Structure 1
Amino acid sequence: MADTGTVLVTGGAGYIGSHAVLALRDAGYKVAVLDNLTTGFRWAVPEGVAFIEGDVADMALVGRTLYEHQVGAILHFAGSIIVPESVHNPLKYYRNNTAASRALIEAAVTGGVRHFIFSSTAAVYGIPESSPIDEDMPTKPINPYGTSKLMTETMLRDVAAAHDINYGVLRYFNVAGADPHGRTGQSTAGATHLIKIAAEAALGKRASVGVYGTDYATPDGTGVRDYIHVTDLAEAHVSALRWLTANPAKSLTVNCGYSRGFSVLEVLDAVDRVAGVTLTRDLQGRRAGDPDALVASNARILSTLDWRPRLNDLDTIVRDALAWERKLDETRPAA
Structure 2
Amino acid sequence: MEKLWEPFELGKLQLKNRLVMAPMTRSRAKENGTVNELAPEYYAQRASMGLLISEGTQPSPEGQGYPSTPGIYTNAQISSWKQVTQAVHDANGKLFIQLMHVGRMGHPDNIPTHQKAVAPSAIAPEEKIFTKKGMKDIPVPRALTVDQIEDTINAYRKSARAAIEAGADGVEIHGANGYLIHQFLGENSNKRHDEYGGSIQNRALFALKVAKAVVEEIGPQRVGFRISPMNMLGGVNEGENGAALYHYLVSELNKLNLVYLHMMHVGHEEVLADIRKTWKNSLIVNRAGRKMTDVSLDLDNENADLVSVGTWALANPDLVERLKIHAPLNEVDKATVYVNNGAVGYTDYPTLN
- Tell me the TM-score range normalised by the shorter chain: 0.3 to 0.5
Structure with higher helix content: 1
Higher RCO structure, 1 or 2 (CA under 8 Å, sep 6+): 1
TM, length-normalised to structure 1:
0.35
